[in-house]
Structure 1
Amino acid sequence: MSDITLGIIGGGQLGSMLAIAAKKLNIKTVIFCDDVDAPAQNFCNRFIYANYDDNEKINEFINLVNIVTYEFENIPYETLNEINKLKPVLPKPSVNRLIQHRLAEKDFVNNLNIRTTRYASIEKKSDIEALEDFLPGILKTTTLGYDGKGQHPIKSIEELNSLNLDFSKGYILEKLVKLKKEISIIITRFSTHKYEIYEPIENTHEDQILKHSKIPAEIDEKIFNQSKEWAKLIAEELKYIGTLCVEFFIDRNDNLYVNEIAPRVHNSGHLTINAFNVSQFENHVRAVCALNQIPLKKLSNAKMINLIGNQISFYRKSPKFKDNEFFFDYLKKDVKEKRKMGHITTLL
């Protein structure tokens, strides 16, 4: 083992895959998670179960690790900031604070002269009524929410009354684009102008949850290059260290829009485990632990399918897989309806 111990906050499938990647690099891992059944405890060297505001357990965690990273963005900023005073947190807590707030995130992207969908801050029902030209649109809570949670599609003003919204929360209203397809860019930034960047990944969602990803994406060269340039610009402006995902919309006129930034490894990048010489997870560990950067090489085209909810049951009964198929079971105990339970990557 190396003398580095990496602390990972969050113990879901992304934490599991980070721990697996770290082990390959001889780096020990300590997982801190508020879920007693967190699957990542199967892959780490040590597991701490506690709430994210439990100071005693946080101090125990800090004392065990050299560097801290995280697998999801909805961790209290105060927790990350306190940890960062004693051990480096990467990506830095200020990045997480910005991206936790959808309005601040959109403003940040627009200020880089990068296109997003039209959007407006919403504090009360009449704010939406005054923005009828934004409909059809999607109303999102400004904080929290992923995989479709905290999101309300609105086609017309009449639909507002049936939504029963709590306006004590902040909202953002985004105008829907006439969507042709969605892509994502996974980029790992090591330091100033030092990156490894994966090719654009084409994504398909069902019920606002990622279902399929594939490379190569069926896009033209202009979008291929522009999406990569915008991802670099965002990572550089954030002075980001680690792996970052930028999600994009492409409209029917082949205009590119940034939809969201995920300050972490990302579900759409799971196919990098099998399709590239270095996965998004290994690159993240390499970047945050200041290890050497290895030039990326694509080994194969690939497609991935997420196994949601009960879909995992069939595959847990050990069906036969072909040599080019790779099955990942996230080892989650509870099978829930919209929960990501595993995935299958097929090399093409």
Structure 2
Amino acid sequence: MAKEITLGILYSGQLETQLVKSAKKIGGIKTIILTDDQNGPAQHFCDKFICGDLKSKKVLEKFISEIDICTYAFENLSYDILKEIADIKEVNPSPKTLKIAQNRILEKTFANEEAGVKTTEWKVIKSLEDLKDGINLFGKSILKSVSGGYDGKQQHRFNSINDIDPNIDFSKIYILEKFLNFKQEISVAVTRYKNGKISIYEPTENVHENGILRHSKIPANITKKIFKEAQDIAIKFAEKLDYVGTLNLEFMIDNKDNLFFNEKSNRVHNGNWHTVNSYKICQFTNHIRAVCGLEFIENKKISNAEMLNILGEEIKEFRKKEYRENEYFFDYLKSDIRPNRKMGHLTILKD
């Protein structure tokens, strides 16, 4: 009988919870969660829950001593902490891939120069003069922090230099992107195994409201050319990065059906959660199998699907509802209900 694998997972949100559930379903994998959130929902499903300061040498050493492999589904974790773990135990995806994902300059440089992928035009901004030059060059544009700023946060939009906020802190470095008149956003999940084998999912069409992902569906309303191009780029990224695990890429499509890479998520992603019900092997199960070095299994789509993210107080009504056979309600079991916080989702399978 194969030796049981002890998989350490950093943090304890909804994505980590689903990873734990997938590990249990596979079998032969013990899961240990390390987080600084005592209310993290993954504690209800993992084999061991360690709550403590990840910067504490004692806490980290205890975690490292008890695991065989480490993974994560949270990009705002410390690169230095992940590297410290990787110096002793196997970490997938690697700290190198996280470092690129955490820095928009590194990410876009990698996309353009290493992967040869098209992005919207962009420029590094270090001063007010840089910003003025960039806006004059691009016209309508968006200023983003180099790191962080998910769900549309830490962003400034400009039509001209007259829109510049005088309170922008230029002790920080930013990236200015030329505004893209896009008609759609799609994302592609891809899982790469240690032996280089690839499991690719079809593009998912995503709709945001107020910068927050609200709806996702397959099939996406895109051309066959865009379908193939997006999958090919996702595979290229995974191979160029020597990636192990599930990677998600986000793309924008303009009014002329040109495809632009926007950003990558170094992890399983909320927008492709529908794969739990729409595919034989979901993005979470594929991730666990890949990072643990398990056998690659051919995947296939089961059904078309739509997914609705449930935000804030909406969760109360969804917890009371009864659902049809083709409807799957996921409650993230978060104790603190806040406006626009992702509290759960509903997946509906379609013909």
Offset at residue 180 of structure 1 (A): 1.0
Q: Which residue of 2 aligns with 1:109?
A: 111
Deviations 1:97-121 (A, max 9, x none): 1111001100000012210011110
The answer for the alignment partner of 1:158 in structure 2 is 162
Residue equivalent to 1:46: 48
Say which SS state the counterpart of residue 177 (structure 1) adopts: coil
Q: CA deviation at 1:192?
A: 5.1
Task: Give the conservation status (yes or no) of the 8 Å contact 1:178–1:251.
Answer: yes
Q: C-alpha deviations, 1:265-287, integer Å up to 9, x for none? A: 00111000000011100000000
The 1:210/1:108 distance shift into structure 2, 3 A limit, reads: same
248-257 vs 1-10, which deviates more?
Answer: 1-10
Q: Hey, what does 2:14 align to over in structure 1?
A: 13
CA positional deviation for 1:235: 0.5
Shift in Å, 1:21: 0.3
- Cα distance in 2 for residues equivalent to 1:258 and 1:341: 28
Stretch moving more, 31-40 or 247-256: 31-40
Shift in CA distance, 135/31, structure 1 to aligned 2, threshold 3 Å: farther
Distance, in Å, in 1 between the alignment partners of 2:160 and 2:124 is 18
Aligned length: 346
Q: Map of 1:325-344 to 2, 5 A cutoff?
A: 325-344=327-346
Per-residue deviation, 1:169: 1.9
Q: Helix, strand or coil for the counterpart of 2:101?
A: helix
Structure 1 residue runs without a partner (length 5+): none
Give runs of aligned pairs for residues 138-287 of structure 1, distance below 5 A: 138-161=142-165, 164-191=167-194, 193-287=196-290
CA distance in 2, matches of 1:10, 1:168: 30
Find the partner of 2:76 among 74, 77, 85.
Answer: 74
Tell me the equivalent position of 1:137.
Answer: 141
TM-score scaled by length of structure 1: 0.97
The secondary structure found in structure 2 opposite 1:53 is coil
Quote the residue 2:23 is aligned against. 22
The alpha carbon displacement at 1:153 in A equals: 2.2
Give 1:174 shift.
0.8
Matches of 2:5 and 2:42, distance apart in 1: 19
User: 2:20 corresponds to which letter in structure 1?
Assistant: A
CA 1:271 to 1:92, structure 2 compared with 1: closer, same or farther past 3 Å? Answer: same
Q: In the alignment, does 2:294 pair up with 1:294?
A: no
Corresponding residue SS for 1:52 = coil
> Structure 2 length normalisation: TM-score?
0.96
Deviations 1:129-170 (A, max 9, x none): 1122323211111012211222222232212135x2122221
Residues 66-111 of structure 1, C-alpha deviations (whole Å, 9 max, x = no match): 1000111111111011101111010110111111100110000001
Q: Aligned-residue CA RMSD in angstroms?
A: 1.2
**Structure 2 Cα separation of the partners of residues 145 and 99 of structure 1:** 12
Q: Report the 3-state secondary structure (helix = DSSP H, G, I; strand = E; otherwise coil) of the residue aligned with 2:152.
A: coil
Q: Name the structure 1 match of 2:38.
A: 36
Within the candidate set 320, 338, 349, 1:347 is matched to 349
User: Is the 2:194–2:291 contact (alpha carbons within 8 Å) kept by the matching residues of 1?
Assistant: no
Among candidates 298, 314, 317, match of residue 314 of structure 1: 317
Deviation of 1:13 (Å)? 0.5
Q: Compute the displacement of 1:34 (Å).
A: 1.7
Letter aligned with residue 66 of structure 1: D
Cα distance in 1 for partners of 2:226, 2:282 equals: 23
SS of match in other structure, 1:147: helix
Partner amino acid for 1:94? K
Distance apart, 1:51 and its partner CA: 2.5
Q: Percent identity?
A: 46
